[in-house]
Amino acid sequence: MISKHTAYSILELALISKGQSVKQTYKNAVALAQKAEGEGYKRIWFAEHHNMMAVGSNAPTVLIGHIAEKTSTIRVGSGGVMLPNHSPLVVAEQFGTLGNLYPNRIDLGLGRAPGTDRDTALAIKSDFLQASHSFPNDVEQIQLLFSKQNDTAKVRAVVAEGVEVPIYILGSSADSAHLASKKGLPYAFASHFATAHLENALAIYRNEFKPSVDLESPYVIAGVNVIIAETDAEAERLFTSSLRMIIGMFTGKRDYINPPTEMTSDLKEIIQHPQIQNMIKYSFVGSKETVKGKVSSFLNKTQADELIISTNVYDINDRLYSVQKFAEVMREINGEFSNLFEF
């Protein structure tokens, strides 16, 4: 049984559809954020990726400021900043600036991976492997730079000191679960693509959690893929764009996100591969009622405090429809939970 009210949010990759300009992609991101704000989504996060034709969120900090300016209440943040690519000082200065411009609306999600392939990671930072090992220390450094107590230090991020920008630890394995629990920080797990370690990571995080000044009890955000259409068949057709993008990742055939096609027998056979099945395990595709059932089962299983959804489809109008219907799903699920306590 779902035992809590569950918040819902969006993970945005600024997907570039075939035949569409990057500028139009960013206009679509604004439309998506404004729609999400109107539908009660808690936050929209931008993921840092590099050297991927279909992904336009290479510079999430810039997009965060742009989206925050075009909205008024929804929280905007990084899902995440891939910390091995950046100096903790620069991250604190950038997000301190955002926190001053948009008070109580900016989130700083931090990840350990580079968000790209090895060659590109080396182009970003030649010592990225060493930098990934220093992730715990870099997180601590950012926390220090945001603290008021850092005002006497030799190295300061003055614009960040005392600014309310909550930090979230992102993870796709158990490693970051240990860190998030040790520091008493909220934990976002990338179960929208890294499904194998979800249960273990959440158990570690909850069992080892130590309360902090930031958080009294564990807070879990779980990523899922969601595509909702009027019918199961139509949603499955829209899903083919995402499936072909995933297949392209495995085969090295990078491309923009392509228009949907019919779910052919050949495509059905390809996606039975264990690696692809593992990636799409928590992909909830179908009509509103179909997706509601899948979401309810996932929440019963994970007891997540918040779901953050990725909707990788070709057409922005299909995305907006899916975002609207998922909000309806969550309002219904949360309403059913609330009714359990009415006497």
Q: What is the mean pLDDT of residues 280-303?
A: 97
Q: What is the mean pLDDT of residues 211-217?
A: 96
> Per residue in 52-68, pLDDT tens?
999 999 999 999 999 99
Q: Is the pLDDT of residue 183 over 80?
A: yes
In the chain, beta strands by DSSP E:
7-12, 43-46, 75-82, 106-111, 167-171, 187-189, 220-228, 283-286, 306-310
Confidence band of 250 (pLDDT split at 50, 70, 90):
confident
Name the percent of the chain lying above pLDDT 90: 85
- CA distance to 2, 35, 60, 325, per residue, from 334 (Å): 9, 20, 31, 14
Cα–Cα distance, 343 to 340 (Å, whole number): 8
Going from the N-terminus, what domains does the chain have, and what CATH number goes with each? 7-230+282-339 (3.20.20.30)
SS3 188: strand
> Per residue in 132-157, pLDDT tens?
779 999 999 999 999 999 999 999 99
> Per residue in 12-56, pLDDT tens?
999 999 999 999 999 999 999 999 999 999 999 999 999 999 999
- CA distance to 38, 93, 305, per residue, from 97 (Å): 26, 6, 29
Q: Which of 217, 208, 226 is nearest to 286 (CA)?
A: 226
Q: What is the mean pLDDT of residues 255-282?
A: 92
Helix 88-101 crosses helix 135-146 at what angle (to 10 degrees)?
Answer: 40
Q: Is the pLDDT of residue 99 over 80?
A: yes
Residue in the block written with tokens 């057709």 = 237
Cα–Cα distance, 115 to 46 (Å, whole number): 12
Q: What is the mean pLDDT of residues 209-237?
A: 97
> Per residue in 104-126, pLDDT tens?
999 999 999 877 778 887 887 76
Q: Is the pLDDT of residue 343 over 50?
A: no
Q: Is the pLDDT of residue 70 over 70?
A: yes
